[in-house]
Structure 1
Amino acid sequence: MTTPHFLQRLALSFTVLIASVAWSAPLVPPPPEIAAKSYVLMDAASGDVLAQHDGDTRLPPASLTKMMTAYIATLEMQRGRIHPGDMVTISEKAWRTGGSKMFVEVGKQVSVDDLFHGIIIQSGNDASIAMAEHIAGSEDAFVSLMNAEAQRLGMRNTHFTDATGLPHPDHYSSAHDMAILARAIINADPAHYAIYKQKYFLWNGINQPNRNLLLWRDDAVDGLKTGHTEEAGYCLVASAKRGNERLIAAVFGTDSEAARAAETAKLLTYGFRFFDSRTFYNKGAVVTDVPVWKGAARSVKAGVNDVVAVSVAAGEADKLVALAIPKPTLIAPVKQGDVIGKVEIRAGDKVIKQVDLVATESVEQGGFFRRIWDSIRLFFRGLFG
């Protein structure tokens, strides 16, 4: 007998699929039953959500929080504000913090690089607080950076109160937001992202394993982070790459360490089986030249500010085409970054995705005679169509 819960879930699944791959939805079955409070399956290239259940529900993220702590550390290293070899003096607060530990000692100095490994692989609360204090002076100040970065990334259902994920009523995130953060981490720095797949880290004579069991079970999996508290249950954000396709699965609130690995593996298997990802343009790519009227130059180079990619039903990606559609009449001046058209991804006559086409350079106004001549040309063009 079909239960109302099953029908509700089936309807939600098809709603998600229609939103992301409407034109080919009948080719994709609903996702498997996932024993979790919340989950999201995302295509890493496009950011398209392929499947979800309560993906925007606010839940305690436990140690998934440390993904943001590590991400900010990566950004600070890229900006040159901290360096892997910097030595950090361990405070009493960092040393005394309970929960999972790297086992650093109060008053001792530990390198930023070792703390980074301790945060990601050993899930050290002590390492997280030490890093936060080194970057911002205090954990409270660092939390302000975390929340600002979450807002910048579009993590609309996230608020942090600490750098570790220890329980607090105002500390929450969502499966969707953590998938967004995972995508940012993957794209930020390949060298730092490679640390997420390391299975062990030896520090102070203690060799601790990475808690992500999928690293041992599936060679395609190369990150990211586990989390667990009594309130949150067992959580996992994992990413895997097969061929040119990378998927991200975020699972909140399973019943055990084994369950979070098994349920996440189900999602990833489903995604790779029934979806294909195709990237048309990388971030910053020049797509076309657009004619410019009344300008110092006759055309301007146009491109995209972000990756242009889509995920569609398996076997359908080769049917897609990308079309640049510039504004019909672009008049100088044109500033770098101005939106001057659209890039459409189409399947036949159906638009699957649309992104802005932007000027990658500036074009100033032309001289007096250029402007007069182009005004005459535009007049007659309008007159005769």
Structure 2
Amino acid sequence: MTKRILSGILALGIFCSVFGIPVLADGVEEDVVAAQSIGDIPAKSYVLMEASSGKVLMEQNADEQMPPASITKIMVMLLLMERLEQGTIHMEDMVTTSEHANSMGGTQIWLEVGETMSVHDLLKATAVNSANDAAVALAEYMGGTEEAFVEQMNQRAKELGMNNTTFQNATGLDADGHLSTARDVAIMSAELIKHEKIKEYSSIWMDSLRDGKTGLTNTNKLVRYYEGCNGLKTGTTDGAGSCLSATATRNGMTLIAVTMGSATSKERFKSASTLLDYGFASYEVYTPDLSQQEIPEIPVSNGQQSVVEIELPSTVSMVISKGDQANITSEVTIIEGLQAPVQQGQEVGKIIYYLNSDVLAEYPIYAKNQINQLDFPFVFLKLLLKLIS
């Protein structure tokens, strides 16, 4: 290597060092580069996810199992919201406090044994104040016992694909084997906020219970200080450190920032707000106008109709980097040689969106109506009608 080349490399290194431009080796992952560009994230693990698509925008140690502390209560609230929508539980239902619920340590609203409180108020205490006694009272009301309800929590986690999560209680208090991951917490957070009503609780900054005698202040300071924040849940124990699942919506895009294992409460809020800032600055939701999409007729062989009507997805949206919209193209592909019978809702093609030459997203096209196979009675009737017309 000549002195001139060596001097050039040295000069380049000095220039990059002075002006803060990273010199990257091959194989450095994109999320690591992004993390360097937005500054330090003081958390052992984290995930930044776009809620509607589940697309992960940034992550670090996202599948490392850690104690989740009170962000466990996201699953309690999810199961409650599902039962409320099913109509098996109602907000005005009154719940009686058991000795077990009364015995919970940590943060609580000091429920007395035998005291009754509505589901509405218990949910508020759980979402806003992270009250352990309120969460257990709800768990017992839904499952009969906390242990039985925890089985339901684990079953729902399995259904959602939370493969690295095992719950041992409904509160998040440290317990052997009570573990989750940043990715799994993001998954259940995304599922919870599909229920819009939960945001009426998780976004409360201050409120009260018992006719104003018990004050509530949200443990998630971002709902007051971060633009667009509408939840979701904090968690703090000796084993877990400080954790947070923060949700925020701006310009039609909802992001979920999950941080676990921060040393202090201040650090978890810094971690989450830094991730959210990066996401809102760098990404946007693109929703193409499907009504403008040209779909060719789809012929059907050997059917009682020669073509099938099509049904497009009701909503199509995708997360893209800001500035990429001009580089998106689409292509429609249909099934060639489609044979009757065709069932209503059967996939008959797809729309493919490309960002430059890379596939960005695919959405199926469905048959809007059923097409039966040609048979003798149908052919005979058609011939008869033609003859007498």
TM range (shorter): 0.7 to 0.9
Equivalent in 5, 8, 11 of residue 28 of structure 2: 11
- 2:132 matched to which residue of 1? 125
Distance in 1 of aligned mates of 2:164 and 2:323: 34
Distance in 2 of aligned mates of 1:105 and 1:8: 61
Q: Deviations over 1:34-53 (max 9, x none)?
A: 11100011112321111100
Tell me if the contact between 1:13 and 1:52 (Cα under 8 Å) persists in the aligned partners.
Answer: no
Distance in 1 of aligned mates of 2:30 and 2:135: 37
- 2:197 matched to which residue of 1? 191
- 1:302 matched to which residue of 2? 311
- Give the 5 Å matches for 1:291-330: 291-297=299-305, 298-304=307-313, 308-330=316-338
Distance in 2 of aligned mates of 1:239 and 1:9: 34
Change (3 A) 1:139 1:294: farther
Change (3 A) 1:328 1:349: farther
SS of the residue corresponding to residue 142 of structure 2 reads helix
- Give the 5 Å matches for 1:1-385: 11-14=28-31, 30-187=37-194, 189-204=195-210, 205-280=213-288, 290-297=298-305, 298-304=307-313, 308-359=316-367, 362-368=370-376
Tell me if the contact between 1:42 and 1:49 (Cα under 8 Å) persists in the aligned partners.
Answer: yes
Question: How big is the shift at 1:336?
Answer: 4.5
Q: Give % identity.
A: 33
Change (3 A) 1:331 1:311: same
Deviates more, 1:234-243 or 1:295-304: 295-304
Distance in 2 of aligned mates of 1:225 and 1:371: 64
Gaps of 5+ in 1: 18-27, 373-385
Change (3 A) 1:152 1:311: same
Tell me if the contact between 1:45 and 1:277 (Cα under 8 Å) persists in the aligned partners.
Answer: no
Letter in 1 for 2:275: L
Question: How big is the shift at 1:334?
Answer: 3.3
SS of the residue corresponding to residue 216 of structure 1 reads helix
Deviates more, 1:107-116 or 1:334-343: 334-343
Deviates more, 1:175-184 or 1:313-322: 313-322
Tell me if the contact between 1:224 and 1:239 (Cα under 8 Å) persists in the aligned partners.
Answer: yes
Which protein shows a greater Rg? 2
Tell me if the contact between 1:16 and 1:51 (Cα under 8 Å) persists in the aligned partners.
Answer: no
Distance in 1 of aligned mates of 2:228 and 2:294: 32
Question: How big is the shift at 1:252?
Answer: 0.5
Tell me if the contact between 1:118 and 1:201 (Cα under 8 Å) persists in the aligned partners.
Answer: no
Letter in 1 for 2:89: I
Change (3 A) 1:360 1:116: farther
Distance in 2 of aligned mates of 1:264 and 1:358: 40
Letter in 2 for 1:259: E
Letter in 1 for 2:219: R
Letter in 2 for 1:198: I
Q: Once superposed, what is the RMSD of the aligned Cα atoms?
A: 3.0
Q: TM-score of the superposition, structure 2-length normalised?
A: 0.82
Q: TM-score of the superposition, structure 1-length normalised?
A: 0.83
Q: Deviations over 1:165-223 (max 9, x none)?
A: 11122211111111111111122x21222211101231231212101111121231111
Question: How big is the shift at 1:55?
Answer: 0.9
Distance in 2 of aligned mates of 1:301 and 1:16: 44
Gaps of 5+ in 2: 1-12, 18-22, 381-389
Change (3 A) 1:368 1:183: farther
- 1:21 matched to which residue of 2? none
SS of the residue corresponding to residue 212 of structure 1 reads coil
Higher relative contact order (CA 8 A, sep 6+): 1
Tell me if the contact between 2:308 and 2:369 (Cα under 8 Å) persists in the aligned partners.
Answer: no
Change (3 A) 1:260 1:29: closer
SS of the residue corresponding to residue 150 of structure 1 reads helix
Distance in 2 of aligned mates of 1:281 and 1:162: 46
Distance in 1 of aligned mates of 2:220 and 2:300: 54
Distance in 2 of aligned mates of 1:127 and 1:228: 17
Aligned residues: 354
